[in-house]
Amino acid sequence: MKSWFVSLCLVTALLQAVYAAVRVMISYRALELGGDGATVGILTALYSLVPLVAAIPIGRAVDGRHAAAVLRLGAALSVAAVIVIITSTDLVVLAVGSILLGFGHILTLVSGQGYIPLMSSPDQYDRRFGGLTVWISVGQSIGIPVAGIIASRSHEGHVETTGALLAMLVLAALAATASLTPHLRTPQTATQRKSAEPIRQSTMAMLSTSGMRPAVFSSLIVLTSMDLTTAYLPVLGEQYGFSVLTVTAILTARAIAAIVSRMFLTQLLHLAPRRWLLISGTLCSALPVALIPAVPQPIVVAILMSVAGFFWGLAQPLTMTWVAGLVPPSNRASALSLRLTGNRLGQVFIPLTAGAIAGSAGADAVFVLTGGLLAGAAISTWRALARG
State pLDDT tens for residues 99-116. 999 999 999 988 998 888
- Spatial separation of the C-alpha atoms in residues 144 and 22, rounded to whole Å: 8
The pLDDT of residue 193? 46
- 8 A C-beta contact, residue 110 and residue 324: no
- Spatial separation of the C-alpha atoms in residues 20 and 323, rounded to whole Å: 25
Query: Which of 316, 317, 321, 305 lies closest to 255 in space, CA to CA?
Result: 305
Full-prediction pTM beyond 0.85?
no
The pLDDT of residue 349? 81
The pLDDT of residue 268? 92
The pLDDT of residue 337? 84
Query: Which of 43, 97, 109, 35 lies closest to 348 in space, CA to CA?
Result: 43
Q: How far is CA 279 from CA 7, 235, 313, in A?
A: 32, 30, 13
What Rg, from alpha-carbon coordinates, does the chain have? 20
The pLDDT of residue 187? 52
The pLDDT of residue 154? 63
Q: How far is CA 27 from CA 5, 228, 285, 350, 385, in A?
A: 33, 11, 24, 17, 37
Average pLDDT across the chain, whole number = 87
- Which CATH number does the domain 3-182+211-387 belong to among 2.30.30.40, 3.40.50.280, 1.20.1250.20, 2.60.120.10? 1.20.1250.20
The pLDDT of residue 2? 80
The pLDDT of residue 129? 87
Q: Where are the domains of the chain?
A: 3-182+211-387
The pLDDT of residue 331? 81
- 8 A C-beta contact, residue 64 and residue 381: no
pLDDT in tens, 159-213: 788 999 999 999 999 999 999 988 887 655 444 444 445 567 787 888 888 889 9
User: Residues in the chain with pLDDT < 70?
Assistant: 1, 154-158, 186-199, 388
- 8 A C-beta contact, residue 332 and residue 115: no
Question: Which amino acid, 362?
Answer: G
The pLDDT of residue 190? 41
